[in-house]
Structure 1
Amino acid sequence: MLRFDATYAERFIPADELEAYLDERAEVLMRCQAGEERYADSLGWLSVDAWAGEETVERTCALAERIRAQADTFVLIGVGGSNNTTRATVAALAPEGGARIVYAGNTLSAWELRRMLEDLDGHDVVIDCVAKNFETLEPGSSFRLLRQYLVERYGREEAARRIVCTGTIGSPLEDLCRAEGYTFVPFATDVGGRFTALTEVHLLPLAVAGVDIRALVAGARETEHSCRTAGPTQNDAFRYAAVRKLLWDRGYQVELLGFFEPRFRWFSKWFEQLFAESEGKDGRGIFPVAAEYCEELHSLGQYVQDGTRQLFETFLDVREPGPGDSLVLGGTDVEDGFGYLDGKDFWDINKASFEATRAAHAEVLPCLTVEIDQLDDHHLGTLLYWFAFACMASGELLGVNPFDQPGVEAYKMLMFRALGKGVG
Structure 2
Amino acid sequence: MLRLNETYLGARVTSTEVSRASSAHVDVLARCQAGEARHAGSLGWLHVGDWASDEKIAQVEALAARLRERADTFVLIGVGGSNNAARAALAALGVRDGSLDGTHRVTYAGNTLSAFELRRVLEDLEGHEVVIDCVAKNFETLEPGSSFRLLRQWLVSRHGEKDAASRIVCCGTPGSHLEDLCREHGYEFTTFPEPVGGRYTALTEVHLLPLAFAGVDVRALVAGARAEEARLRDAAADPADNPAWRYALVRRLAWDAGLRVELLSFFEPRFRWFSKWYEQLFGESEGKDGRGLFPASAEYSEELHSLGQYVQDGTHQILETFLDVLEPGAGDSLVLGGQDIDDRFGYLDGADFWDVNKASFSASRSAHARTLPCPTIELDRVDEEHLGRLFYFFMFSCYLSAELLGVNPFDQPGVEAYKQLMFETLGK
Shorter-chain TM band: over 0.9
Deviation at 1:97, TM superposition (A): 4.8
Alignment of 1:302-313 (within 5 A): 302-313=309-320
Contact 2:11–2:371 (CA under 8 A) maintained in structure 1:
no
Deviation at 1:10, TM superposition (A): 2.1
Deviation at 1:189, TM superposition (A): 1.4
Alignment of 1:18-417 (within 5 A): 18-93=18-93, 94=95, 95-97=100-102, 99-229=104-234, 230-417=237-424
Residue deviations 1:264-316, cap 9 Å, x none? Answer: 00000000000000000011000000000011000000000111111110000
Contact 1:98–1:210 (CA under 8 A) maintained in structure 2:
no
SS at match of 2:330: coil
**In structure 2, C-alpha distance between the alignment counterparts of 1:97 and 1:182, rounded to whole Å:** 27
SS at match of 2:106: strand
Residue deviations 1:32-51, cap 9 Å, x none? Answer: 00000000010000000000
SS at match of 1:129: strand
SS at match of 2:45: helix
SS at match of 1:7: coil
Contact 1:97–1:210 (CA under 8 A) maintained in structure 2:
no
Between 1:166-175 and 1:12-21, the stretch displaced more is: 12-21
Contact 1:98–1:208 (CA under 8 A) maintained in structure 2:
no
Residue deviations 1:352-408, cap 9 Å, x none? Answer: 000000000001111110010001111000100000000000000000000000110
SS at match of 1:44: coil
Contact 1:23–1:233 (CA under 8 A) maintained in structure 2:
no
Shift of the 98–240 alpha-carbon distance from structure 1 to 2, 3 Å rule, reads farther
Contact 1:81–1:196 (CA under 8 A) maintained in structure 2:
yes
Give ranges in structure 1 of 5+ residues lacking alignment: none
AA paired with 1:250? Answer: A
Residue deviations 1:134-192, cap 9 Å, x none? Answer: 00011000000000000001110000000000000000000000000000001111100
Residue deviations 1:229-277, cap 9 Å, x none? Answer: 1332111000000011001000001000100000000000000000000
Deviation at 1:123, TM superposition (A): 0.2
Shift of the 98–2 alpha-carbon distance from structure 1 to 2, 3 Å rule, reads farther
Contact 1:164–1:184 (CA under 8 A) maintained in structure 2:
yes
Q: TM-score, normalised by structure 2?
A: 0.97
**In structure 1, C-alpha distance between the alignment counterparts of 2:266 and 2:15, rounded to whole Å:** 25
Deviation at 1:18, TM superposition (A): 1.6
SS at match of 1:403: coil
**In structure 2, C-alpha distance between the alignment counterparts of 1:184 and 1:50, rounded to whole Å:** 19
SS at match of 1:317: strand
**In structure 2, C-alpha distance between the alignment counterparts of 1:340 and 1:347, rounded to whole Å:** 15
**In structure 1, C-alpha distance between the alignment counterparts of 2:175 and 2:388, rounded to whole Å:** 30
Contact 1:2–1:370 (CA under 8 A) maintained in structure 2:
yes
Between 1:4-13 and 1:179-188, the stretch displaced more is: 4-13
AA paired with 1:21? Answer: A
RMSD over aligned CA atoms reads 0.8
Deviation at 1:6, TM superposition (A): 1.7
**In structure 1, C-alpha distance between the alignment counterparts of 2:370 and 2:127, rounded to whole Å:** 54
Contact 1:75–1:125 (CA under 8 A) maintained in structure 2:
yes
SS at match of 1:314: strand
Contact 1:92–1:375 (CA under 8 A) maintained in structure 2:
yes
Contact 2:9–2:15 (CA under 8 A) maintained in structure 1:
no
**In structure 2, C-alpha distance between the alignment counterparts of 1:176 and 1:56, rounded to whole Å:** 23
Residue deviations 1:31-70, cap 9 Å, x none? Answer: 0000000000100000000000100001100100111111
SS at match of 1:402: coil
SS at match of 1:127: strand
Contact 1:192–1:403 (CA under 8 A) maintained in structure 2:
yes
Contact 2:111–2:143 (CA under 8 A) maintained in structure 1:
yes
Deviation at 1:17, TM superposition (A): 2.1
Deviation at 1:98, TM superposition (A): 5.2
SS at match of 1:40: helix
Number of aligned residue pairs: 421
Give ranges in structure 2 of 5+ residues lacking alignment: none
**In structure 2, C-alpha distance between the alignment counterparts of 1:9 and 1:186, rounded to whole Å:** 42
Contact 2:81–2:199 (CA under 8 A) maintained in structure 1:
yes
**In structure 1, C-alpha distance between the alignment counterparts of 2:317 and 2:92, rounded to whole Å:** 30
